[in-house]
A and B are shown apart, each in its own frame.
Chain A
Amino acid sequence: MRLLNLFKIAFKAIVLNKTRTLLTMLGIIIGVASVIAMLAIGEGSKESIRTTISSMGSNMITIRPGADNSGPARGSGGNVQTLILEDYNEIKKQASLLSYITPVVNGGGQVINGANNWPSTIYGVNPEYLNIKAVGLQSGSMFTDAEVKSAAKVALIGGTVVENVFPDGQEPVGQMIRFNNIPFKVIGVLEEKGENTFGQDQDDVVIAPYTTVQKRILAIDYLNQIMASAISEDEASEAVTQVTDVLRSQHKLIESEDDDFTVRSMEELISTFSSTSEMLTVLLVAVASISLLIGGIGIMNIMYVSVKERTKEIGLRMAVGAKGTDILMQFLIEAILISVTGGLLGVILGLGATVFIENFLNWPTSVALYSIVISFAVCAVTGIFFGWYPARKASALDPITALRYE
């Protein structure tokens, strides 16, 4: 009964002071909404990097010659020739945590089909390559181990190569192309993968047996890299250790010597790249925190002033018999109603803004639950506290002192 009355009083006060209520709510709404939207942008870009990298094969482990002087976008080891087929064989034999493994040699050149000419890259690999890269075939089939052994002149090509050397929509499988003047029979077309996070066209490739590429195209006897995939994502880092151990003993490195090769799991690659987007997120969080702070100060300000200016009203209510708790409850209910309504509107606006950004600006977004919880909590708590605190002070006065307050 009493509580119901207090609810009515609080509700009436809110309706009576529409402008003030609206201004307070606006602070809360903008504070909450901007935090949610900004964190959604940060989280979204982080997640999109993660998914594109994972789509490249999430268990993938790459082994390159040469020490790690960092930078994930480094070339394929340049002219370092320390990685050889023997290494590949030993790793394949000893590393139990790997499910697939392939040597990789690669080089650039011209793909030619009659009058059509296209610069591309050829990758010499074994059949396990497709499993490692998690890429399927659009048509045709992969070459076999036998074809690897015999260094057969067969190739699979990516979508971009198809478009450029078979422009009139001819079926490429079964056709002959030339790569740096060496004739290859096209036996398959790779599934389209699009651009990766680094803007590289993953469909601009030619794939052939590594033996063929080594001997006929590049005329080398070392490997540019070895690619493998761990049996599971969880085992990836353990697999990296295994590979490292095998290679160190293969390369007869003593304790004091650094690795003359680099083993990387996808997980590491992801974290390297995530750190870039992490920076973005930190920046956005900083901006969001500032807007939350400003929103909080706004709420504080308006709540504080509005309670102060109503000291006279508090005095009157006490003069006609309101107890201190009645006053406190009234202002607490008011503050809760305003803060919670404002907070909810802020969440709705924040989610709306996120949808807008996603659909109209085409930025990847991902709404984090914690951003909703934190921003809502901060605004609601600030609003409630600064609605309650001055009211508590006013209700501790003698009625006449409160009534006299100017």
Chain B
Amino acid sequence: MTKEIIKIQDLKREFTMGTETVHALKGISFDIKEGEFVTIMGSSGSGKSTMLNILGCLDQPTSGAYEIDGVSVKDLNRNELATIRNEKIGFIFQSYNLLARTSAIENVELPLLYNSKVSTEERRERAIKALKMVGLGERLHHTPSQLSGGQQQRVAIARSLVNNPVMILADEATGNLDTRTSYEIMSLFQELNKKGITITFVTHEPDIATFSSRTVVLKDGEIMQDYLNHNVQSAANELAKLPKQDE
């Protein structure tokens, strides 16, 4: 259980805009072990998304080392990176990034379309299962414009689950949800985590962090704090404590 799934060493990311250089990440090092549930916190602009994008193999660091499951990402070519994204990682974007005018189920099926090992029937089955898990079993054929912000967020979550990833990277996955729904989602993540999926979760909200086993706090592109949470709350319990809504 102590295998490191993510290992980063002195990771830097700079953005050059004309003559100006933005140092979004100023040399970050940490490891994430298999099966951990890590929340990443920090004020706006502290570099959370930037880091998560690099972890998700969506972006390349300016310098520093990044190993995923024992493989140095620097040594992988674009196709190998695509395969890792397709088979190992479930990514949830801060801004959903759903395909417009495309039904929920087709959006969820998308990653499996690029996996030739999955048949058409299996693809459909798994997409329906993932949508049911996030409570959208009744909304399979709605397009993003026919869904609320929270529902779109849940479609994005279903899409990240559908390829049975070993690691889920979520950028403010509960940012647009009310307390009840975000607790529902968190309890879903906790269940997935119990099944052994490593979760890295970016959030602003301290109460969300209490559901995770570890919290990393970023500030101005550097790690401020990195602590284990010895008193992990159960999202399901917290959900039960919430006052019942009028139905």
Interface residues, chain A, with chain B CB atoms under 8 Å away: 1-2, 5, 8-9, 12, 16, 312-313, 315-326, 398-401, 403
- In whole angstroms, how far apart are the Cα atoms of A317 and B113 in the complex? 10
Report whether over half of chain A's contact residues are helix, strand or loop; otherwise say mixed: helix
User: Chain B residue with minimal CB distance to A318?
Assistant: B82
Contact with A along B55-95 (1 / 0, CB 8 A): 01011100000000000000000110011011100010100
B21 close to A (CB within 8 Å):
no
- Chosen A-B contacts, 22 in total, with CB atoms closer than 8 Å, are A1-B116, A12-B102, A12-B106, A312-B97, A316-B110, A319-B58, A321-B83, A321-B85, A321-B114, A321-B115, A321-B163, A322-B82, A322-B86, A322-B114, A323-B79, A323-B114, A324-B78, A325-B79, A398-B59, A399-B58, A399-B85, A400-B53
Contact B59 A400 (CB under 8 A): yes
Contact with A along B184-215 (1 / 0, CB 8 A): 00000000000000000000000000000000
User: Chain B residue with minimal CB distance to A396?
Assistant: B78
CB distance from B78 to the nearest CB of A (A): 6
Contact B113 A5 (CB under 8 A): yes
Contact A321 B99 (CB under 8 A): no
B159 close to A (CB within 8 Å):
yes
Among the interface residues A16, A320, A403, which one has the most CB atoms of the partner chain B within 10 A? A320
B111 close to A (CB within 8 Å):
yes
Indicate which residue in A16, A321, A325, A403 contacts B97 across the interface (CB closer than 8 Å): A403
- In whole angstroms, how far apart are the Cα atoms of A400 and B110 in the complex? 17
B141 close to A (CB within 8 Å):
no
Contact B111 A320 (CB under 8 A): yes
Given contacts A398-B60, A400-B58, A403-B97, contact A320 B53 (CB under 8 A): no
- In whole angstroms, how far apart are the Cα atoms of A97 and B163 in the complex? 86
Residues of A within 8 A of B163 (CB): 320-321
- In whole angstroms, how far apart are the Cα atoms of A403 and B111 in the complex? 16
CB distance from A310 to the nearest CB of B (A): 10
The number of inter-chain residue pairs (CB within 8 angstroms) is: 70
Indicate which residue in B59, B60, B79, B159 contacts A320 across the interface (CB closer than 8 Å): B159
B3 close to A (CB within 8 Å):
no
Contact with A along B96-127 (1 / 0, CB 8 A): 01010110001000110111100000000000
Given contacts A5-B113, A398-B60, A400-B53, contact A320 B85 (CB under 8 A): yes
Contact A326 B58 (CB under 8 A): no
Interface residues on B, range: 20 to 34
Residues of B within 8 A of A12 (CB): 102, 106
Residues of A within 8 A of B56 (CB): 319
CB distance from B173 to the nearest CB of A (A): 15
Given contacts A16-B102, A321-B83, A323-B82, contact A316 B114 (CB under 8 A): no
User: Chain A residue with minimal CB distance to B53?
Assistant: A400
User: Chain B residue with minimal CB distance to A3?
Assistant: B116
Contact A321 B111 (CB under 8 A): yes
- In whole angstroms, how far apart are the Cα atoms of A292 and B113 in the complex? 38
Given contacts A16-B101, A398-B58, A400-B53, contact A323 B78 (CB under 8 A): yes
Residues of A within 8 A of B86 (CB): 320-322
CB distance from A275 to the nearest CB of B (A): 57
- In whole angstroms, how far apart are the Cα atoms of A398 and B82 in the complex? 11
CB distance from B88 to the nearest CB of A (A): 10
Contact A313 B99 (CB under 8 A): yes
Contact B91 A319 (CB under 8 A): yes
Residues of B within 8 A of A401 (CB): 59
Given contacts A321-B83, A322-B82, contact A9 B113 (CB under 8 A): yes
Contact B114 A326 (CB under 8 A): yes
- In whole angstroms, how far apart are the Cα atoms of A318 and B79 in the complex? 10
User: Chain A residue with minimal CB distance to B106?
Assistant: A12
Residues of B within 8 A of A1 (CB): 116
Among the interface residues A16, A319, A325, which one has the most CB atoms of the partner chain B within 10 A? A319
Residues of A within 8 A of B93 (CB): 319, 403
User: Chain A residue with minimal CB distance to B113?
Assistant: A5
Indicate which residue in A2, A319, A325 contacts B85 across the interface (CB closer than 8 Å): A319
CB distance from B66 to the nearest CB of A (A): 14
CB distance from A394 to the nearest CB of B (A): 13
Residues of B within 8 A of A315 (CB): 97
Residues of B within 8 A of A321 (CB): 82-83, 85-87, 111, 114-115, 163
Residues of A within 8 A of B114 (CB): 5, 317, 320-323, 326
Contact with A along B35-53 (1 / 0, CB 8 A): 0000000000000000001
User: Chain A residue with minimal CB distance to B159?
Assistant: A320
A-B pairs with lowest CB-CB distance, top 7 = A321-B86, A320-B111, A400-B58, A400-B59, A323-B82, A321-B114, A399-B58
CB distance from B115 to the nearest CB of A (A): 7
- Known A316-B97, A320-B163; further 15 A-B contacts with Cβ < 8 A: A8-B113, A318-B82, A319-B91, A320-B86, A320-B91, A320-B110, A321-B85, A322-B82, A322-B86, A398-B58, A399-B58, A399-B59, A399-B85, A400-B59, A403-B97
CB distance from B102 to the nearest CB of A (A): 7
